[in-house]
Amino acid sequence: VVTVSVPLQSLSQLSLEGERVMGERFSVGLGVSAIFNQVRSRFDETQADGVEGFDSGSYRLGIEPSVRFYLTGRAPQGLWVSPRLEASLGRNTSETVRSQDEGGSLIDISTDIWSVGGAAVVGYSVVLEPGFTVQGGVGFGARREALAYDVVRPGENGLSALTRVHQSTWLFTLRILLN
């Protein structure tokens, strides 16, 4: 079974998931996802410091292996529980756009992001006809997300130095699946 995910959180996300039935009540799956965002914001009038606006963009690519245990019916149809692993890698950029008189665009922030985590999902799959399957599920997940970005800090002899900053956090999320 190959499904396309309906993006409930973000319209800029595309997710595909494949499921391979391995037995009457057991299947394995692999999902891939991609998220792309591009935002261009401009002021009606150029600011006093020459700032015309801001541009930002981001992308994130992910992979999600999973296993499904069917509690009712026969795979790939019925009530199931699924532990899932998740891993993703991405980058965010934010740029201040200045008028040409003030020196043009400057990159303010470029952030590398990676995350790894897992989720537990309960769902139901229905094969309406050969070639058309509907799946839905809810669950909880947790992931560790790490960021790395450069900042300018005062260095020795009054010179500025570019320093790489690393930051990480744990996120707990609700999962809603509609495929």
List pLDDT tens digits, range 22-79: 999 999 999 999 989 899 998 888 877 778 888 999 999 999 999 999 999 999 999 9
Question: Which carries the bigger pLDDT value, residue 73 or residue 12?
Answer: 73
Distance, in Å, from the CA atom of 90 to the CA atom of 101, rounded to the nearest integer, reads: 33
pTM for the full predicted model: 0.77
Determine the residue type at 88: S
Residue 9 — very low, low, confident or very high, per pLDDT cuts 50/70/90? Answer: low
Instruction: Please say whether the dihedral angle defined by the alpha carbons of residues 39, 63, 3 and 77, taken in this order, is positive or negative.
Output: negative
Q: Other CB atoms closer than 10 Å to residue 124's CB: what's the count?
A: 16
